Amino acid sequence: MLDGKIAVVTGASRGIGSAIARKLADEGATVVINYNGSEERANAVKAEIEGKGQKAVVRKCDVSDFASCETFIQGVIKEFGRIDILVNNAGITRDGLLMKMSEEDFDQVLDTNLKGAFHTIRFASRQMLRQKSGRIINMASVVGVSGNAGQANYAASKAGVIGLTKATAKELASRGITVNAIAPGFIETEMTAVLSDKVKEATAAQIPLGTFGQPEDVANAVAFLASDEARYITGQVLHVDGGLVC
Ligand code: NAP
């Protein structure tokens, strides 16, 4: 389905991003696995993909850094000649109540989750405009829609990702580029592993489908939005949350 496509996935060394990298490779894309700190794990994802006879490369870049993103994206364009799919998945949490939240914790989350997506889109979209085609998929969160106590920085970043998605979708639509966001609910990764069993149970009880989702549930939605079947969908936020926020 994605044969011959070049897909860049940020934060693909683990969690949801690694599941997205594996899924897009399964569909035939050559995947650029971006990481920041987890080099070994990024290489393990690459080895797994190559073990199935599929194609992947690993590239380090801190998405919160504008200049590094320029080097990263230009490097991919130089190497592969195009970018068909850009998945802005890299994200962090620095949870805490607003009254006690440091400026650093606020800035780090905004710089990674929101500005990180701006940085890569800023450089990849120029190439997509030349190609007159492209798919951009940004990882938001249900928390960006509903808010969540203790996550003012994270919720603001994800609400920002939704705004960025909608504005960019309008700017790029006339050139055949679609831009959508996915809003996962609670997905089993290291990000949610830090929650206590009590919080996990209470959260699962709020989810109409009854359980946390798996990284593959999000990866399947990404593969759909990246596919030809989704050609007429842009500027949307697709919830993958078991019905948590409707
Ligand atoms: P995770 O397991 O903590 O993985 C985060 C990934 O982001 C890692 O691959 C990490 O790479 C990468 N990353 C962090 N900072 C980076 C930076 N500055 N530059 C490049 N990469 C960076 O998180 P996850 O649960 O898979 O979450 C993935 C995305 O889904 C995030 O945007 C998150 O906000 C969103 N999300 C998750 C959930 C959930 O329930 N898990 C729900 C809603 C939304 P390194 O380790 O290599 O640094």
| Residue closest to 91 by CA, chosen among 6, 187, 177 | 187
Task: For residue range 139-188, list pLDDT tens digits in order.
Answer: 999 999 999 999 999 999 999 999 999 999 999 999 999 999 999 999 99
Measure 195 CA to ligand 1 centroid, in angstroms.
16
Residue ranges of alpha helices (H) inside 27-174 are 39-51, 66-80, 103-109, 116-131, 143-146, 152-172
Q: What is the pLDDT of residue 137?
A: 99
Measure 183 CA to ligand 1 centroid, in angstroms.
13
pLDDT > 90: percent of the chain: 100
Which residue owns the Cα nearest ligand 1 atom 41?
Answer: 187
pLDDT band at 105 (very low <50, low <70, confident <90, very high): very high
Q: What is the pLDDT of residue 118?
A: 99
Q: What is the pLDDT of residue 162?
A: 99
Question: Alpha-carbon distance 220 to 78, whole Å?
Answer: 29
Atom of ligand 1 nearest to the CA of 63: 19
pLDDT > 70: percent of the chain: 100
Q: What is the pLDDT of residue 9?
A: 99
Task: For residue range 111-127, list pLDDT tens digits in order.
Answer: 999 999 999 999 999 99
pLDDT band at 30 (very low <50, low <70, confident <90, very high): very high
Q: Does ligand 1 have an atom closer than 6 angstroms to the CB of 89?
A: yes
Catalytic residue among 35, 106, 123, 154: 154
For the chain, give the mean pLDDT.
98
Q: What is the pLDDT of residue 23?
A: 98
pLDDT band at 138 (very low <50, low <70, confident <90, very high): very high
Q: Does ligand 1 have an atom closer than 6 angstroms to the CB of 160?
A: no
Mean per-residue pLDDT, 36-47:
98
Task: For residue range 166-177, list pLDDT tens digits in order.
Answer: 999 999 999 999
In the chain, the amino acid numbered 136 is I
The SS3 of residue 52 is coil
The SS3 of residue 232 is coil
First-residue to last-residue Cα distance in the chain = 30
Mean per-residue pLDDT, 46-67:
98
pLDDT band at 238 (very low <50, low <70, confident <90, very high): very high
Measure 17 CA to ligand 1 centroid, in angstroms.
7
